[in-house]
């Protein structure tokens, strides 16, 4: 296991460790006076699946948005494929974003569009393709996530939660991205459908050779899909000199962690937190 620091990156056996696809170097993110991320350094090798875990409010989703340039850091640098994102023009940044796929927590589908129109939307926005080519691509991606052609004409409201998640994944894949980001991909799903999504994440990685970042509270999902796991901790619960990344290692190393904060999170133990809440006068 390796702990966070200004220069650390990833486990020794990580692929392409010397040439990460995406990287944060000494990144701070603040909103007015509230600091959400502090001195975060993460390098993500090509082909790796990284899971980011941690309790609500620790900055997981902010990390995702910073990685792809949706949020600019208050300090530090963000690199994608060796390019510093804040040095790119808006046109260049928009072009780079076509290399990202984003699977949102609630799928974020357009309710007024059919499934086929939702999946085709990025192609219509960013590619010059014949309608027949778009149709074929949409059907291919839907088939890859295990959905039949019959769903193409349906509206999102007609689908189950698990089916909407899979449509969201198909839309993220349709541009053949180099990096896919998943924001809580199994939230709200039953255990069987959660495992279906986990299997799709693994299949996507293996078949399309993409790099993936998965933000999740689901420890079963993190252990199953990730090559590497990092855990963020809320800054409000840290001393100024303490690193915000309190774990960085493999799933196997996670189960051997000795940090009590990591142990409590992965086992869902609330005892110490309940004591803190009582001391602060908060009734759970």
What residue ranges do the domains of the chain occupy? Answer: 1-98+216-284
Contact 96, 69 (CB under 8 A): yes
Alpha helices in 6-128 (DSSP H): 60-67, 90-97, 115-126
Contact 160, 108 (CB under 8 A): no
Token pair listed for 88: 């790119």
pLDDT in tens, the chain (284 residues): 444 433 344 344 444 456 899 999 999 999 988 999 999 999 999 999 999 999 988 999 999 999 988 899 999 999 999 999 989 988 898 888 889 998 887 778 889 999 999 999 999 988 888 999 999 999 999 999 999 989 999 999 999 988 999 999 999 999 999 999 999 999 888 999 899 999 999 999 998 899 999 999 999 999 999 999 999 999 999 999 999 999 999 999 999 999 999 999 998 876 565 555 455 555 55
What is the SS3 assignment for 136-170?
A: HHHHHHHHHCCCCHHHHHCCHHHCCHHHHHHHHHH
87 CB burial (10 A radius; 0-12, 13-18, 19+): exposed
21 CB burial (10 A radius; 0-12, 13-18, 19+): buried
Query: What are phi and psi for residue 75, nearest 5 degrees?
Result: -150, 150
The architecture in CATH of the region 1-98+216-284 reads 3-Layer(aba) Sandwich (3.40)
Q: How far is CA 139 from CA 132, 142, 164, 176, 196, in A?
A: 11, 5, 15, 14, 19
Measured in whole angstroms, the distance separating CA 257 from the mean position of its chain's CA atoms is 23
Residue indicated by tokens 């997981």: 60
Residue indicated by tokens 């541009």: 175
Token pair listed for 22: 């995406």
Q: Model-level pTM?
A: 0.85
């Amino acid at each position: 296991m390796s702990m966070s620091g200004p220069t650390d990156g990833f486990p020794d056996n990580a692929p392409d460790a010397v040439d990460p696809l995406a990287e944060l170097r000494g990144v701070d993110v603040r909103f007015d006076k509230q600091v959400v991320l502090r001195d975060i350094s993460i390098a993500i090798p090509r082909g790796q699946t990284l899971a980011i875990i941690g309790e609500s409010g620790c900055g997981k989703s902010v990390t995702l948005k910073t990685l792809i340039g949706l949020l600019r850091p208050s300090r530090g640098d963000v690199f994608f494929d060796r390019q510093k994102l804040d040095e790119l023009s808006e046109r260049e940044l928009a072009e780079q974003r076509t290399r990202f796929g984003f699977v949102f927590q609630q799928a974020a589908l357009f309710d007024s569009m059919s499934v086929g129109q939702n999946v085709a939307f990025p192609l219509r926005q960013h590619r010059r393709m014949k309608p027949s080519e778009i149709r074929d691509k949409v059907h291919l991606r839907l088939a890859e996530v295990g959905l039949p052609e019959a769903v193409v004409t349906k509206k999102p409201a007609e689908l189950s939660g698990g089916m909407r998640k899979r449509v969201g994944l198909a839309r993220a894949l349709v541009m053949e991205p180099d990096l896919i980001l998943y924001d809580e991909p199994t939230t709200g799903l039953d255990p069987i459908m959660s495992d279906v999504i986990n299997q799709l994440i693994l299949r996507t990685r293996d078949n399309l050779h993409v790099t993936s970042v998965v933000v999740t509270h689901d420890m079963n999902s993190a252990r199953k899909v990730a090559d590497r796991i990092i855990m963020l901790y809320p800054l409000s619960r840290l001393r100024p000199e303490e690193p915000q990344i309190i774990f960085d290692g493999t799933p196997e190393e996670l189960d051997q962690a000795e940090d009590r904060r990591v142990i409590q999170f992965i086992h869902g133990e609330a005892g110490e937190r309940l004591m803190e809440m009582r001391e602060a006068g908060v009734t759970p």
